[in-house]
Amino acid sequence: MTYTKHDDYEQNVLPGLGGAANANHGGVKAQLLFTPTDDLQFITRGDFSKAREHQQSFFQLMAPWPFSPIANSLIGNYRKVALDTARGATTQVWGISEEINYNVSTHISLKSLTAYRREHLSAVVDSDATEIPFNFNTQGDRDRGLLAGV
C-alpha cells in the first residue's frame, strides 16, 4: 500500500484558485495463492489506485503578453503561476487477474491468464498561463480491457 500527499510546489498568485503540482494519490495491491493439489495452482491478483491532484503547470509565458500584467510579472519565476481556472485531475485505475497453472505431467504444463482493467481520467487544464479566462482544456478518458489466454 502506498500513499503520497504534499502541498503545492507552484503557488497560484490569483486568490481562491489553488496552486499546482501537489500530490494526493495512493494505491494498494494484493495477491492470493490457492494450491488445492501439488499440480494445480490459482493466483488471484488485484490492484487499485486513485489520485485527486492539481497537476503541474507546463505552461509558462516566455515573453510579455499585452493583456496580462500579473502573468508578465512571473516570467522566469517557475515557482509561481497565474492560472485563472480552477484546475485539477482525478484518476482511478483498478484491475484484477487470475493465473491458473496446471501440471499435466512432468513434461507438460498448462497456464491460463485472464485479466480485466479499468481506468478513468478527468482533468481541467489552464493552457494559456495567464490570468485572462482565454484558453483552458478539459480532458476525459475511460478505458476497459479484458485479456484472456491459454
Residue 149 pLDDT: 63
**Can you give the pLDDT at residue 125?**
79
Residue predicted with more confidence, 27 or 1: 27
- Cα dihedral sign, 60-66-71-76: positive
- Would you kindly state where each structural domain of the chain is located, as residue ranges? 2-149
Quote the pLDDT of residue 133. 80
Pairing of strands 2-6, 80-81: unpaired
* Total-model pTM: 0.73
Question: What is residue 57's predicted lDDT score, i.e. its pLDDT?
Answer: 64
Give the mean model confidence (pLDDT) for residues 83-93.
Answer: 85
Cell of 25: 494519490
What is the percent of the chain where pLDDT is above 90? 40
E strand or H helix that includes residue 70: helix 69-72
Summarised one tens digit per residue, pLDDT across range 12-51 is 888 888 888 888 999 999 999 999 999 999 999 999 999 9
